Chains A and B, each alone.
Chain A
Amino acid sequence: MGRFIARRLVQAIPTIFGIMIITFALTRLSPSDPVTIMLGNNPDLTEEDREELREKLGLNDPLPVQFVRYVGDTARLDFGTSFRHNRPAIEVIGERLPNSLQLSVASLLLAIVVSVPLGLIAGVKRGRIADQAIRGVSVLLHAVPLFFLGLLFVLVFGVGLGWFPVGSMNVIGESCFFCWDRVWHMAGPVIIGATGGIAFIPRVLRTEVLEILGQDFVRTARSKGLRERVVLARHVFRNALIPIVTLFGGILTILLGGSVIIEQVFNWPGLGRLLFDAANSKDYPLVQASVLIGSLLLVVSYILRDLAYAWVDPRIKAG
């Protein structure tokens, strides 16, 4: 196990390095000057003042020099100081990351709880009304953009009916992380965040169920006289769930990516919103650190996925 994890971590290094190159290049290639954004149009500032700030921030160095410095600092776990926040980027991210993870994990759990039964039902009830309804809803959710669903939720259930708060993590005056108030505030973003999984997982699971229902071992189980419920639970569902584990890494990617939109719509102060603001203000250190931390999380999620895959499918472990 330990060797497996170590091997995967080593294999992730080129991926992370590639992400660092792309992030660095994109931030530098995009137009506009961070110093201009930082300083505004204060008439007391001269060109020399602007140059002084550029120099202090290291923006006057050639790009290769800046990149080498970035890689070196990152290797020493120094993620730089945010231009906007005037604090270490990692400190700013550390304040937001738990909020994003809370949302992503809750969305993932909700997606699983809703999707798995739907997928199994759709497979077992193939061609019937339940199957068609599940597939219809799945396609619909897949077709509608997240931001639109989010705005619709805010409009209908927040502003219109007043059932849920329209944004934020707690009511004014509260700041708890695990409490009913937080759950109430999470309802909207979690439901909308889970729609990505709910649109996707049932269709994959349905296909798996249909394929397994046609397998010899299912036929054998039925011919042994086992009750249909037992055949489905022990032989069909269990095997159908194996490929779903493979999807979880990908789903987490979708959830973290979608958090940029979800957090904007639901005013959730997480990593996605932070990244959005940082990109708009050309806060290089914060953008670079946010993307890197997000990438590391994904690498970890893929490793966990592989471990889970080996756990649910003994053939993998044996192999």
Chain B
Amino acid sequence: MRRIFAIALATFIVATACTSSTPPATGTGSGAPAAGSPVAGGRIIYGIAAEITGLQPLLSGVGADEVVWGQLYPRLMQNNPDTGVLGPGLAERLEQSADGLTLTFHLRKDVKWSDGVPFTGEDYKYSVEATIRAKAPIRKPVFSRVVGFQDYNEGKTDSLAGLQVSADGMTVTIRLSSALCTAARSLVSAGGGVLPKHHFVKDWNNKTTDLTKSIDSSPLNNAPPASLGPWVFKEWQKGVQVTLTKNPNYWRGAPLLDEYIVKSYANDAAVKAALLTGEITFAYTIPTDVEEIQKTAGNKLALSRATVASNYNYLGWNLKSPKAPWLASKDVRQALWYGLNVKAIIDKVQLGYATQMFSHYPKQSFVYEPTGLKTYDFNPATAKSLLEKAGAKMGADGVYVWSNGQPMAMRLEGGQGASALMQVATEQYKAIGIKIEPIVQTGPVLTARLDPTQVDHEGHAGGWFISPDPDSAWIFFNAAQQNKGNFNWVHYENADVTKLLDQGRFGPDCTDATRKTLYQQVNKMLNEDAPYTWLWQPESLMFHSTALQGFSQKPYGLTTSGETWDWNAEKLWLRK
């Protein structure tokens, strides 16, 4: 559940670290095959190293919260767990006009809320309007391009003009004021998930123009009254756990299990202890704990492995660093890649539980194309020749000297979890004549130091959780994303990349085929420019009770919380 903490912290993660061990065989996402015939009943407990702070998607930006509300208030469409492509969910299909300005969702007709009330487009409309009028503006900007947003936001109208629901409630049409290729993915969320209008409307009516009223203070926010997901809210013991029971009206079929509990723990160590004592049924784990858990738990726990597409680790280089001006040179950045034995680091730091990466997009992405990507195989000689080509000369002490006479020494900053990576990188860079000073920082300090408004940093070890949409590169590598709070931390400015990213985001051609071409070019340019030294996609590791059947992980989660196991929650069952 490290991922949930990470999402809360601006989705910035730090690389995990550990000591050497024998690398395991490469695995793919699969759990133990179901044994015997499924039986109904039982309770599963999911341990997470994070606290649940709220159950109202409109108001909460905390990733751990989505682990719960994502099961109650699903989005209109869901990620295909294997490809990440947006697929059917509450909506059977989506149509988008040629100009990209009109989106039409066709809803399933057989969907009911857990209390038996039919689901309609009015629930979606209510949720969107509640988001726009919410006092907490966390999710509001998602709808800023919908026609009539400003008027509804300012209370001039009692309905969002650009969002129409058909008379039978089964078709939702959304008109945008300007094209946004990522609109479909953003708009399916309805500000997080779809709320049951028939309950919430008693606390806040979406027809009001009184801006002093909002859904923010509804007592139902933390006591979800009805669900469209596999589970129904039962109880929330604050700081301890949330208990959910099965939804007999779930449109994919009622879950086999009776109860699902999400239990909060203070940290990964507490989750591990709970796994070992059998207090919880399943949880994420980290590479360094795998061996110990397997030895201690014996055949009580099974390991599920999956190469997920949602996150990667990297070393980032500040192209505008005044203390390390050589980082502006592409040759130097490529040398830093050639000088790093990434495969050896994966074996040492990730204990083999990772797949090497060469640019921003993971292999599972529909835009990934390996042709033309440099693999930067470890080659110290090439690294040194690139450094010399860039103007560096070897100094008497074995450290290269830059053309301005400055020794090529710099800081590499990262979180506690990246300390092993930074240590190994320091040793390897020393071998090619670059001196590194590894510095461990706390997450908030590191995030503040790397803000685009700051340039007093050279290198950092980090990781990102990325959306299945290829637009994910826009915030990290678009030259315009260098304001306070933005994420182009390395100050990367390539006009071609920025133009391609803008075209991929704003159109005019938002078709998958065109976007695929654009992002493939972006991927190659990033691979060539090397603003990051891309390292690996970590495997998602989960331990689960061997009694739990049908459990496995997929590369993409159904929700944005990063969960990789909940794609078939209704089919999980416990062996008696």
Contacts and interface: CB of A to CB of B under 8 A. Distances in A.
Interface of A: 30-33, 35-47, 49-50, 52-53, 56, 82, 84-87, 92, 95-96, 99, 151, 154-155, 158-159, 162, 165-170, 172, 175, 263-265, 267, 269, 273-274, 276-277, 280-282
A76 B137 CA distance: 27
Given A38-B61, A85-B53, A267-B270, A169 B240 contact: yes
A95 B239 CA distance: 9
Contacts of B445: 30-32
B551 interface: no
Contact of B140 (A37, A49, A50, A264): A49
A220 B276 CA distance: 62
B277 interface: yes
Contacts of A277: 51
A89 B309 CA distance: 37
A31 B448 contact: yes
Interface in B417-467: 443-445, 447-449, 451, 464
B296 A159 contact: yes
A89 to B, nearest CB: 12
Contacts, number: 156
10 contacts: A31-B445, A43-B474, A45-B141, A49-B141, A86-B60, A86-B221, A167-B274, A265-B270, A273-B51, A281-B9
A146 to B, nearest CB: 14
A87 B53 CA distance: 9
Given A41-B10, A162-B277, 20 more contacts: A30-B444, A37-B10, A39-B10, A40-B8, A40-B61, A41-B11, A41-B475, A47-B484, A85-B53, A151-B269, A159-B277, A166-B274, A168-B263, A168-B279, A172-B45, A175-B237, A263-B266, A267-B274, A273-B239, A274-B239
A95 B444 contact: no
Contact of A35 (B54, B444, B485): B485
Given A32-B448, A166-B270, A267-B270, A37 B239 contact: no
A32 B135 contact: no
Contacts of B386: none
Interface of B: 7-12, 43, 45, 51, 53-54, 56, 59-62, 135-138, 140-142, 144, 182, 186, 216, 221-222, 237-241, 261, 263-267, 269-270, 273-274, 276-277, 279, 296, 443-445, 447-449, 451, 464, 471-472, 474-475, 483-487, 505
Given A31-B445, A154-B273, A277-B51, A41 B487 contact: yes
Interface centre among B53, B56, B475, B483 (most CB of A within 10 A): B53
Given A31-B449, A33-B451, A263-B266, A84 B273 contact: no
Nearest to A48: B141
A80 to B, nearest CB: 14
B272 to A, nearest CB: 9
A291 to B, nearest CB: 18
A30 B45 CA distance: 37
Contacts of A38: 61, 138
A87 B144 CA distance: 26
A118 to B, nearest CB: 31
Nearest to A46: B141
A265 B271 CA distance: 11
A276 B266 CA distance: 10
Contacts of A265: 266, 270
B239 A269 contact: yes
A45 B138 CA distance: 9
Contacts of B238: 92, 95-96, 269
A43 B270 contact: no
Contacts of B62: 84
A276 B444 CA distance: 13
B263 A32 contact: no
A264 B268 CA distance: 11
Contacts of B222: 87
Nearest to B59: A86
B265 A167 contact: yes
Q: Which 6 A-B pairs have the closest CB atoms?
A: A269-B239, A31-B448, A32-B444, A32-B448, A166-B273, A267-B270
Contacts of A56: 135, 137
A85 B485 CA distance: 22
Contacts of A273: 51, 239, 266
B265 A267 contact: yes
A34 to B, nearest CB: 9
B447 A167 contact: no
Contacts of A154: 273
A274 B485 CA distance: 26
A167 B269 CA distance: 11
A269 B8 CA distance: 19
A224 B56 CA distance: 76
B268 to A, nearest CB: 12
Nearest to B6: A40
B61 A39 contact: yes
Contacts of B263: 168, 172
B507 to A, nearest CB: 15
A162 to B, nearest CB: 7
Nearest to B265: A267
A43 B502 CA distance: 12
Contacts of A274: 239
Contacts of A99: 239
Contact of B137 (A31, A53, A168): A53
Nearest to B182: A43
A281 to B, nearest CB: 7
A82 B61 CA distance: 13
Given A85-B54, A95-B238, A281-B8, A39 B274 contact: no
B484 A166 contact: no
Given A159-B296, A175-B237, A267-B266, A49 B483 contact: no
A47 B240 contact: no
B522 to A, nearest CB: 15
Contacts of B448: 31-33
Nearest to B58: A86
Nearest to A169: B240
B355 to A, nearest CB: 23
A281 B12 CA distance: 13
A168 B240 contact: yes
Contact of B10 (A31, A36, A53, A276): A36
Contacts of B443: 280
Given A86-B216, A264-B267, A37 B273 contact: no
Contacts of A35: 485
A50 B141 CA distance: 10
A289 to B, nearest CB: 15
A47 B61 contact: no
Contacts of B12: 41
Contacts of B60: 86
Contact of A159 (B7, B138, B144, B273): B273
B9 A167 contact: no
A43 B276 CA distance: 40
B269 A172 contact: no
A165 B277 contact: yes
A86 B240 contact: no
Nearest to A35: B485
Interface centre among A47, A82, A165, A166 (most CB of B within 10 A): A166
B186 A167 contact: no
Contacts of B279: 165-168, 172
Interface centre among B186, B269, B471 (most CB of A within 10 A): B269
